[in-house]
A and B are shown apart, each in its own frame.
Chain A
Amino acid sequence: MTISPLIDRLIEALQILPGVGSKGAQRMALHILQRNREGGQRLAEVIARAVEEVRRCDACRTLCEERLCSLCADTQRGDELLCVVESPADILAIEQAGGFRGRYFVLHGHLSPIEGVGPEDLGLEALGVRVRALKPREVILATNPTVEGEATAHYISDLLGNTVERITRIAHGVPIGGELEYIDGGTIVHAIQGRRNIT
């Protein structure tokens, strides 16, 4: 049943959001129109502006509004470490965890031979440019501990080859607080491969 074509369009538009189905979208639309028109106005304005103005950082390709993001513009951060991640959300996770003061590069995806996502889709040339400009001492490959993430790390380490002194892969394995008995076999293989000396 159609009450109003405009409400229908709003409900449909809201369903582009992850996790929002037709029921949820209907609830949101009615909430905005019945109880919070002012908030709806703000939401509309900020979405329009963000979509217009947010772009990719020239250096690391994360999402930002300026030519350079705040992390790349920060002169307090060192250039010795360059951390390669799959998505801007990964930067947020690492920054929230704290402890890393180097630079980043965002791939916006990972290689997937089966889905036909190749090196050119990730703009890996831009990574080469970034590495040559920054001259880091170490590139940390922080792609996800998935098969695709591993394939991507493998490809990049080959691509960068000896242009960088040191190329490392983040450690994966047994989570803090985990018990070996309950951990999946693949994770254990991984953890054993990535073992290190106790110092």
Chain B
Amino acid sequence: MIRNRVTDEPAIVLHVRPYRETSLLVDLQTEHHGRVAGVARGVRHARRGHCLQPFYGVSVSWTGRSALVTLTSFESRRSAWFTGNVLASAYYAVELVMRLTREHEPHERLYEALEWLMRYLAEGHEMEIGLRQFESVLLEEIGYAIEFDVEAGGGSAIKPNGEYRFEFGVGFVAVSGRSGPDVIMGEALLAIANRQWQRSDARRVARRIFRRSLETLLGPRPLQSRRLLRRGA
């Protein structure tokens, strides 16, 4: 059997846990091979530390084609250290990736979006905007893209002064003569379509729609990382 060998693959460390006495089990989001789980042997008590830390950008090589590959080399491309709510946000993104993608399913855009988010968070930008941007790419990549500028069924364009209701898996449906908490103004949807995140209505509506969509996809088991968010944030 020809052994599968991948060299110098860019990846993001999603999760690390101890394995046997001196090894680590590492979940990685790779650029070209999707999510990969691997064993790194004999590194756990390395005196100089190692780069297999959550959220780090690394370059890895591995052999094997089974569910669990053997990491043969790894080096750091980008370090990461988050605290407080930024840490909760990074965990949130990683938890979504772990829960909503399958191993070995290539997702190049998702890799790029996650790498972008990690840098964005490290630079101290507005977390909320970063998360909305990431959620929109994630939903697209797993096949649930939301079109913010057309009505459900690919009909007419969203009108700025129109009123709509969101249905997961369907899209935006025009409503008339009815107001309530679920009603969304067309101009907010168009602002999201144009990525005008400086607008507070775009941020608020996107947050609600992405959240509802992700919750439907995640099912009854809640996200653990949400509980890390400081109250009031």
Residue positions of A touching B, CB distance < 8 A = 18-19, 111-119, 146-147, 150-151, 154-155, 158, 182, 184-190, 193
Give A9 to B127 CA distance when docked, in angstroms. Answer: 56
Residue positions of B touching A, CB distance < 8 A = 14-15, 17, 21, 27, 48-49, 51, 53-56, 76, 78-84, 87-88, 91, 94-95, 98, 223-225, 227-228, 230-231
Q: A118-B224, A118-B227, A158-B230 are in contact. Are A150 and B87 (CB under 8 A)?
A: yes
Please name 7 further chain A to chain B contacts, defined as beta carbons within 8 Å, in addition to the given A115-B17, A119-B227, A184-B76, sorted by A numbering: A113-B227, A114-B91, A147-B82, A154-B87, A184-B51, A186-B81, A193-B81
User: Do A193 and B83 touch across chains, with their CB atoms under 8 A apart?
Assistant: yes
Q: Which residue of B lies closest to A145 (CB)?
A: B81
User: Do B231 and A151 touch across chains, with their CB atoms under 8 A apart?
Assistant: no
Among A116, A119, A146, A150, point to the contact of B83 (Cβ < 8 A).
A150
Q: Given the complex, which residues of A lie within 8 Å of B94, measured CB to CB?
A: 114
Give A147 to B51 CA distance when docked, in angstroms. Answer: 13
Q: Given the complex, which residues of B lie within 8 Å of A115, measured CB to CB?
A: 15, 17
Q: Which residue of A lies closest to B51 (CB)?
A: A184
User: Do A147 and B227 touch across chains, with their CB atoms under 8 A apart?
Assistant: no
Among A118, A119, A186, point to the contact of B56 (Cβ < 8 A).
A186
Q: Given the complex, which residues of B lie within 8 Å of A154, measured CB to CB?
A: 83-84, 87-88, 228, 230
User: Do B79 and A184 touch across chains, with their CB atoms under 8 A apart?
Assistant: yes
Q: A119-B227, A189-B79 are in contact. Are A151 and B87 (CB under 8 A)?
A: yes
Q: A114-B95, A193-B81 are in contact. Are A186 and B53 (CB under 8 A)?
A: yes
Give A116 to B88 CA distance when docked, in angstroms. Answer: 14
CB distance from B2 to the nearest CB of A (A): 31
User: Do B14 and A184 touch across chains, with their CB atoms under 8 A apart?
Assistant: no
Q: Given the complex, which residues of A lie within 8 Å of B21, measured CB to CB?
A: 18-19
Give A149 to B36 CA distance when docked, in angstroms. Answer: 24
Q: Given the complex, which residues of B lie within 8 Å of A18, measured CB to CB?
A: 21
User: Do A186 and B91 touch across chains, with their CB atoms under 8 A apart?
Assistant: no
Q: Which residue of B lies closest to A185 (CB)?
A: B79
Q: Given the complex, which residues of B lie within 8 Å of A114, measured CB to CB?
A: 14-15, 27, 91, 94-95, 98, 224
Give A190 to B48 CA distance when docked, in angstroms. Answer: 16
Give A114 to B15 CA distance when docked, in angstroms. Answer: 7
Among A185, A190, A193, point to the contact of B76 (Cβ < 8 A).
A185
Q: Given the complex, which residues of B lie within 8 Å of A151, measured CB to CB?
A: 87-88, 91, 228
Q: A155-B228, A185-B79 are in contact. Are A147 and B48 (CB under 8 A)?
A: no
Q: Given the complex, which residues of A lie within 8 Å of B56, measured CB to CB?
A: 186
Q: Given the complex, which residues of A lie within 8 Å of B15, measured CB to CB?
A: 114-115
